[in-house]
Chain A
Amino acid sequence: EVQLVGSGGGFVQPGGSLRLSCAASGFTFSSYAMNWVRQAPGKGLEWVSTISGSAHITYYAASVKGRFTISRDNSKNTLWLQMDSLRVEDTAVYYCARDSANYWGEIDYWGQGSLVTVSS
């Protein structure tokens, strides 16, 4: 059974940093690209970032580029999102999500989400 368990959310002041983790199990982690998708309170879904299975290729939304860094350790089956220079508008639930084996961006499984609150 595919499982994605997120952690690391919390409260941080504007300008601060936070690192989210996503522990994966039930599949060969290194064979799949992974994503972070966020949802601000009461709002819709917003794609944040994607990393290839090998970690050689990454994509970022314009809203987070230069501030957030996606990474992974395939030996630990873990995905991370390092979030720096956080802004109030980064407040959201952050979901890790797996791409299918067929196409980039074809999300098939989602983690449960981690709440990040940025406030002074």
Chain B
Amino acid sequence: DIQMTQSPSSLSASVGDRVTITCRASQGITNYLAWFQQKPGKAPRSLIYLASSLQSGVPSKFSGSRSGTDFTLTISSLQPEDSATYYCLQYNTYPLTFGGGTKVEI
């Protein structure tokens, strides 16, 4: 199985900050990586697919990138509503595997 190592597990930032979350795949997954946002008590929301493509309706403050097997989610100009847990998902190979999550506090 492909392991997705997500870091950091939590972070605290201020309004207006730019934050970066990373997922490292244990083997190559090309660009088959997605990012999700989950607020407490709610279903996840899809943000990014194919490592860097924005889902419809997602603000451009969210962006994704890839460098080899390292994937990054960047949130620019952090706002209070961005407080959530963020997960990556590799869908290159079954079983699909998620990263452990990053809790973003503002």
**Partner-B contacts on A (CB < 8 A):** 35, 37, 44-47, 50, 59, 61-62, 95, 100, 102-113
Contacts and interface: CB of A to CB of B under 8 A. Distances in A.
Interface stretch (B17-25, B38-46, B67-75): B38-46
Interface string B5-45: 00000000000000000000000000010101010000111
B46 A47 contact: no
Contacts of A112: 43
Contacts of B91: 103-107
Contacts of A103: 32, 50, 91
Contacts of B44: 37, 45, 95, 110
B96 A50 contact: yes
A47 B96 contact: yes
Contact of B98 (A47, A102, A109, A111): A47
A101 B91 CA distance: 14
Interface string B76-104: 00000000000101011011111111000
Shortest beta-carbon contacts, A-B, top 10: A105-B91, A47-B96, A110-B43, A45-B98, A44-B101, A59-B94, A105-B96, A108-B46, A106-B49, A44-B100
A112 B95 CA distance: 23
A22 B38 CA distance: 20
